[in-house]
Structure 1
Amino acid sequence: MSFHSLLVFCAETLSRHEFPFPPDFVFRSGTTTAYQSEGAAFQDGRTASIWDTFAHAGLFLEDVQLMVETGLEAYRRDFTAYAEVCFREFGDRVLYWTTVNEANIFVVGGYDIGIIPPQRCSSPFGMKCAVGNSSTEPYIAAHHILLAHSLAARLYKKKYQGKQQGFIGINVYAYWPLPYTNTTEDVIAAQRTKDFLIGWFMGPLVFGDYPDIMKKNVGTRLPAFTKIESEQVKGSFDFIGVNHYTTIYTRDKSSSLKMDTRDFNADMAVKLICQRTWKNATLSDPGRVKYIQSFIGSLLDAMRNGSNARGYFYWSFMDLFELLDGYESCYGLYYVDLNDKDLKRYPKLSAHWYSNFLKGQSMNLNGATEVQKMIDSTLSQSHSSQ
């Protein structure tokens, strides 16, 4: 079956049991940090996270100032020791460990443009940071994340994996870049985007070093692995989690390489043109249903062609606080009524479709009309009674 015909078929009807997914392949959904989905920073023993502090009170400026006054040249949190506590306490129940989620986006957002914690950046790349260096810090942070991940992975494999029989990996954010035009420049730009965004982490993890184009464009600002570090990082995973939300188009912007001071995006030397993602807040979301159908169909097609995929997690299970735009985006299968004091949940059309799919039942969009009327009526009655 061709890729095109598969997508056309998926847009009509799809059921899990109609296709040969492996018995151990898992279909799930996810939320994320407690901050995004639970809140309640000071209830039941929970304390403030870095996101609680960032969103409500800024970055620990007083603490940072105290460190400066003390004369500290560095400050650290022992990641490996923390990981061992998790392995020891939860390893009898947790079989899949992800050390860092979307590390590549974390370092760009937190150390280049400064829109997420720890909000470090420098002008002109980030304009609202008290401290930071957008030209060097993203690469330094990424380098140490790779080293921290590899140390935690080595500890798990050496001390816990034999007994617990689990797996350890890392998650990488991976939108898929396509050339905006068929010009040689844009085709090369698309590959350069893959090398910078994905190869930045996958290069060291698979080959023990950064991609050549990163070494060329970043130069001495890109940290170098020692031989021991390279061997330590290389192969330090059992699986790679791929967080994919959308496809983008890339246009060559090699002119940015002429800048005297550059950040990650200028080093990548491309202009990114993003596509629309499904994030509407209504219960009627046939576009999201088509997206999920096509994605699962494409995933199956990839597996038929040799991909060793083991699971699919839809993002997200319910509407929650999005880190970049709060409650403006609603990616959930379930709608959360913020006007209801109990924050009542309502299944969207996509939730009904996904549920039917997981139960081996097919539900095409035409057959979902009555379901949609029912859930719309339920929500309307709930609001009128308040």
Structure 2
Amino acid sequence: MATQCILILSLLVLVNIVNGQNFLLLPSSEPTCTPQPVIVNTSCDNTPVSNCSCTTTTQLKRSSFPDGFVFGAGGSAYQYEGGAYIDGKGDSIWDNFTAAHPDKIMDCSNGTVAVDSYHRYKEDVAILKEMGLDAYRFSIAWTRILPNGNRSEPINWIGVQYYNNLIDELLLNVLFHWDLPQALQDKYYGFLHHDIVNDFRDYADLCFQLFGDRVKHWTTLNEPWTYSNYGYMEGSFAPGCCSPWMDQNCSTGDSGQEPYNVTHNLLLAHSAAVKLYRERYQAEQNGTIGITLVTKWFVPYYPLREDQAAANRQLDFTFGWYMDPLTRGQYPESMQCIVGDRLPKFTEEESRDLIGSFDFIGVNYYTGRYAYDDSKTVYANYSYESDPKANFTAVRADGQCIGPLDGSSWVYVYPVGLLDLLRHMKTKYNNPRLYITENGIDEVHDNTIPIWEALSDTKRVKYHIEHFCCLQQAIHEGVNVSGYFAWSLLDNFEWTAGYTSHFGFNFVDFKRNLTRYPKVSAGWFKWFLEKENQISQQSISYE
């Protein structure tokens, strides 16, 4: 099967050219920043994995997945491209955020150079093909084709040519992967203002015109929850907004109101782009369009009614926040009840446009958490974080971990959560067509370990085998899953973790010319895809 491209209409990207050997490039105007120490927590290493069984009667191999099932990997513009300030590209909010707040990035780095895919895309496509992947999921940088974000201003044809070249090398695309044009943030505060809906629709329109003859799978938004929560509740992601009482060095924000306003406009922008695509382009271009959502799976802290209700509320506030409007035209009842007047309301027309505004749903899943009731706590301030009246944790008071902890402090391995999430999609949301659009684990280090050690990622192989088993079981139960995209093709700039978090199947040597080296997992994935090899959960361990 020829490699496909699956596009995420990324509202922007940050790219810059490699400058000498300093690949973790920081603009000279940035404040002084001291990198944080890299600490690996091993407290849950011996926790058994809650997984799905691949038995001798259900062998795990490529042919055990349905005909036409797609296996791929993903990347995103700001995390991969580099070239942030060349060839007419405009600034994104991540360009400005990393320059103004290097202290919020673990190693004080940024995506100015990233892995330089802007110049090395042919090399990266060759890696995709060498691995035998069916498809590549990447995002378009809004500011690379519309530097100021507005369709009324000149198009950057150099940026358009870059994406034409990349698409021609491939053939899923994401329109927005968090890198909003800084010009729109300055003009009307970005997704806090309803004007963003028109600008996003115009940006999507241009992408459909320019690339829709070849791109057949579009994703409007990637993880709108992440954008709203970390960007407007915590302030840890661009544009860095939160309430003053959060004590997160935010210059502006309202953690109890703005996340809801931002999500509301994200959903309206999504539905506007989908409506446009269906009315003007879909019949002629014969493509599909959807949205990618992210969630953890929440299980009750203890088998108590209160904790089960807390787990349900937490899922509503994370996942139902988007799926309910997309399928029912309204926010979950639990959110309406708790948030009240702070929760924006859809008009009848907006509800109609939202319902069914997807041909598929992308699901990003990494980990699970225990949830417990917090309804009796009285907080001094409203915030999206406390609104669910539930808290969650990976480690219970008795020391029981939900799963072994991977390198990063948030990735506890819980494969059965993927199965439970997919079952939830089938029973509650009428079994829509799904793609697993991100799934993976990382290694944490400061790029000083020997290359041979960086390449020995047997833990990643085991992680994917265990999730493949759960994915296969979901398919056998009738869940409508059409593909799986691992995160990530390459090590890259991992947002607030900078270059200390390594999710790639391929190691990138950030100290020596950004050279790419295949890890053990890259060879394993190639082996799985090309041959009728049977694999089992017992074939490799986390140790």
How far apart, CA to CA, are the structure 2 residues paired with 1:87 and 1:194?
33
TM-aligned CA distance change 1:75 to 1:267, over 3 Å: closer
- The structure 2 residue matched to 1:157, chosen from 272, 278, 283, is 278
- Is the 2:243–2:250 contact (alpha carbons within 8 Å) kept by the matching residues of 1? yes
- The structure 2 residue matched to 1:269, chosen from 389, 413, 426, is 389
- Is the 2:244–2:252 contact (alpha carbons within 8 Å) kept by the matching residues of 1? no
Superposed CA deviations along residues 197-255 of structure 1, whole A, max 9, x for unmatched, are 00000000001101111011111100111111111111111111001111122122223
Name the SS for the 1:240 alignment partner. strand
How far apart, CA to CA, are the structure 1 residues paired with 2:184 and 2:527?
52
Matches within 5 A, 1:168-247: 168-247=289-368
Structure 1 unaligned segments of length 5 or more: list them: 370-386
2:70 matched residue in structure 1:
26
2:211 alignment partner AA: F
Name the SS for the 1:97 alignment partner. strand
How far apart, CA to CA, are the structure 1 residues paired with 2:502 and 2:186?
40
1:348 alignment partner AA: K
- Is the 1:353–1:363 contact (alpha carbons within 8 Å) kept by the matching residues of 2? no
Matches within 5 A, 1:1-386: 6-7=53-54, 14-17=60-63, 19=64, 21-33=65-77, 35-57=78-100, 76-77=195-196, 78-125=199-246, 127-256=248-377, 258-274=378-394, 276=405, 277=411, 278-280=441-443, 282-340=454-512, 342-362=513-533
* Residue 159 (structure 1) shift: 0.8
How far apart, CA to CA, are the structure 2 residues paired with 1:74 and 1:297?
43
- Is the 1:356–1:363 contact (alpha carbons within 8 Å) kept by the matching residues of 2? no
* Residue 157 (structure 1) shift: 0.6
Q: What is the TM-score normalised by the length of structure 1? A: 0.85
TM-aligned CA distance change 1:225 to 1:75, over 3 Å: closer
Larger proportion of helix: 1
How far apart, CA to CA, are the structure 2 residues paired with 1:67 and 1:248?
39
* Residue 58 (structure 1) shift: 5.3
Q: What is the TM-score normalised by the length of structure 2? A: 0.61
1:380 matched residue in structure 2:
none
* Residue 39 (structure 1) shift: 1.6
- Is the 2:51–2:470 contact (alpha carbons within 8 Å) kept by the matching residues of 1? no
Name the SS for the 1:352 alignment partner. helix
The structure that has the greater radius of gyration is 1
- Is the 1:172–1:241 contact (alpha carbons within 8 Å) kept by the matching residues of 2? yes
1:161 alignment partner AA: Q
| Aligned positions, number | 356
Name the SS for the 1:267 alignment partner. coil
1:384 matched residue in structure 2:
none
1:373 matched residue in structure 2:
none
Superposed CA deviations along residues 278-302 of structure 1, whole A, max 9, x for unmatched, are 3115222222111100111111110
How far apart, CA to CA, are the structure 2 residues paired with 1:267 and 1:293?
36
1:313 alignment partner AA: F
* Residue 368 (structure 1) shift: 8.6
1:225 alignment partner AA: F
How far apart, CA to CA, are the structure 2 residues paired with 1:368 and 1:228?
53
1:249 alignment partner AA: Y
TM-aligned CA distance change 1:306 to 1:156, over 3 Å: same
Superposed CA deviations along residues 94-142 of structure 1, whole A, max 9, x for unmatched, are 1111111100111011111111111111033352111111111100111
Name the SS for the 2:392 alignment partner. strand
- Is the 2:75–2:488 contact (alpha carbons within 8 Å) kept by the matching residues of 1? yes
